[in-house]
Chains A and B, each alone.
Chain A
Amino acid sequence: MTRRHFQLSGTASFVMLLCAGIVLLLLPSAVTQRVNFLFAETFAPVMRLGRPPAGETVAAGDSDAYVPRRDYEGLWKDHQNLHAQLLELQNAYETLSQIRSGLPRFFSGMVVADVITGSGSVLHHELLINKGAADGLGPGSYVMSPEGNSIVGVVSQSSDLMARVRLLTDANQSIEVRIRRDGGPLDVAALMFGDGRGACTIAMVERQKDIRPGDAVFAAARPGLLEVPLIIGRVAEVRPDEESPLLWQIRVQPVEDARTLKTVAVIVADPLGSPRR
């Protein structure tokens, strides 16, 4: 029996493969991300090998008179968070004193997840974690550091078993924030963007606002997801915007280098139909 043997020319092979690539490119991310998650779920144990990117090394102090930098950062974050909670409680108390009906208490579940790997691409600041939609995680869920005292990112994609977290320092991540100062009335709402280099920037803040280096930056509260503002970082630099001199260009240094984390906590949204406590 004669077997016909088809052989494509180099040009035909190239055109055929290019068409296949373009089809892949045109497919919506919602469809193709399943393949990415399937790969990550299958090879998660191997991908975990190694270590997360090295963070800033901190030298311990020799004298008892000094608190180690790591302890100081932790205490500073706790202090800022407690202060923010205190302000929220004061507001709630004032409201409650005026109306007898209680404030709605939103459910905020917390899911602890292990970091499988950091971003595969140096262009993106992302983490892949081992909890997904089955645990209530979804796009928009806030992600916190393991101690649970600072926001480090937001879930951008999720499968049943895994989720991809876009860190606040990613150039495509934005988040509503509030800038506050210890012992002062300063409370400025703003939108913060990652700068893609390990820090964040805030623009569109009028120069009339008295923002100074050292002011605390909080993630703004969002009903159902974040009941009280939580610390993100502190203002590192304030300078006039080069394009709009009437506005500030503010650089924010996050208190946590999220790319070095091995565990994170995710705040999950209120499941539909769950009883109010």
Chain B
Amino acid sequence: MRWLPFAILIFIGTLLEAGNLLNVIALGQWHIRPAVLIVLLVFYAAQMRTREALVASFIIGLLMDISGSQMGPHTVSYLLIGGLVHQAADHLRTHRINHQALMIFAAYLATALIAYWLGALKTGQRQEYAVRIVLLTGFYSACIGPFFWSFLLRVNRGLIAAPSQTPRQRGYFR
């Protein structure tokens, strides 16, 4: 994989997550915004080789933490879920929109809840409506994610290496 397009895309994604621009499409009283970086996480984790997928997941999680207010929770959760998505991608048809949406929804739910619990362990901060907010954000991201996905496919056309690993070689839980 070439890392330059990846770096540019996650940089733009991080700025979108941290900035005001996504407020334009925020919904409801909780101002639910789609999670851009989770789409990148699922896309790259599903498309890349094992080691690259793990490094990409780690970097995306790290940037998610840097754009927030505490370091660590997203780095760990994105790494864990990125690895799992990488393994699960063998059994899913990632070109199907409903499979993409399902992966984005599940990945967001898992990463956000793990990051929330780790953050609560670190700072003691809790939020009564966390699960509800996470569910709504995950649903919104899953609705919008496949459109980003097709954009990412176009941007990365020919840049992602052809799969040189068989399904049995992929993943780290073997």
A207 within 8 A of B: no
Complex Cα gap A138–B22 (Å): 29
B8 within 8 A of A: no
Contact residue range for chain A?
35 or more
Q: Say yes or no: B72 contacts A21, CB within 8 Å.
A: yes
Q: Give per-residue flags for B98-141: 1 if the beta carbon is below 8 A from chain A beta carbons, else 0.
A: 00000000000000000010100011111111100110010000
Q: Say yes or no: B61 contacts A21, CB within 8 Å.
A: yes
Q: Say yes or no: B71 contacts A36, CB within 8 Å.
A: yes
Q: Say yes or no: A122 contacts B133, CB within 8 Å.
A: yes
Q: Say yes or no: B75 contacts A50, CB within 8 Å.
A: no
Complex Cα gap A27–B69 (Å): 13
The residue that B128 contacts in the complex, of A17, A122, A171, with Cβ under 8 A, is A171
Given contacts A25-B72, A49-B19, A196-B129, contact A39 B66 (CB under 8 A): yes
B-facing residues in A191-205 (Cβ within 8 Å): 195-198
Q: Give per-residue flags for A164-192: 1 if the beta carbon is below 8 A from chain B beta carbons, else 0.
A: 10000001100000000000000000000
Q: Say yes or no: B70 contacts A122, CB within 8 Å.
A: no
Complex Cα gap A40–B80 (Å): 27
B54 within 8 A of A: yes
The residue that B20 contacts in the complex, of A35, A47, A196, with Cβ under 8 A, is A47
Q: How far is the CB of B6 from chain A (nearest CB, A)?
A: 16
A91 within 8 A of B: no
Complex Cα gap A90–B142 (Å): 59
A58 within 8 A of B: no
Q: Say yes or no: B20 contacts A36, CB within 8 Å.
A: no
Q: How far is the CB of B121 from chain A (nearest CB, A)?
A: 8
In the complex formed, the residue of B with least CB distance to A32 is B71
In the complex formed, the residue of A with least CB distance to B165 is A10
Q: Say yes or no: A17 contacts B54, CB within 8 Å.
A: yes
The secondary structure that dominates the B interface is helix
A54 within 8 A of B: yes
B-facing residues in A243-269 (Cβ within 8 Å): 259
Q: How far is the CB of A169 from chain B (nearest CB, A)?
A: 11
Q: Which residues of B contact A46 (CB under 8 A)?
A: 15, 19
Q: Identify which of B24-32, B89-97, B144-152, B155-163 touches chain A.
A: B24-32
Q: How far is the CB of B154 from chain A (nearest CB, A)?
A: 24
Q: Say yes or no: A24 contacts B15, CB within 8 Å.
A: no
Complex Cα gap A51–B65 (Å): 22
Given contacts A14-B83, A122-B30, contact A117 B19 (CB under 8 A): yes
Given contacts A17-B79, A27-B72, contact A123 B130 (CB under 8 A): yes
Q: How far is the CB of A27 from chain B (nearest CB, A)?
A: 6
Q: Say yes or no: A172 contacts B172, CB within 8 Å.
A: no
B13 within 8 A of A: no
Complex Cα gap A33–B21 (Å): 23
Residues of A within 8 A of B (CB): 8, 10-11, 13-14, 17-18, 20-22, 24-27, 29, 32-33, 35-36, 39-40, 43, 46-54, 117-118, 120-124, 126, 157, 164, 171-172, 195-198, 259
Residues of B within 8 A of A (CB): 15, 17-24, 26, 29-33, 50-51, 54-55, 58, 61-62, 65-73, 75-76, 79-80, 83, 116, 118, 122-130, 133-134, 137, 171-172, 174
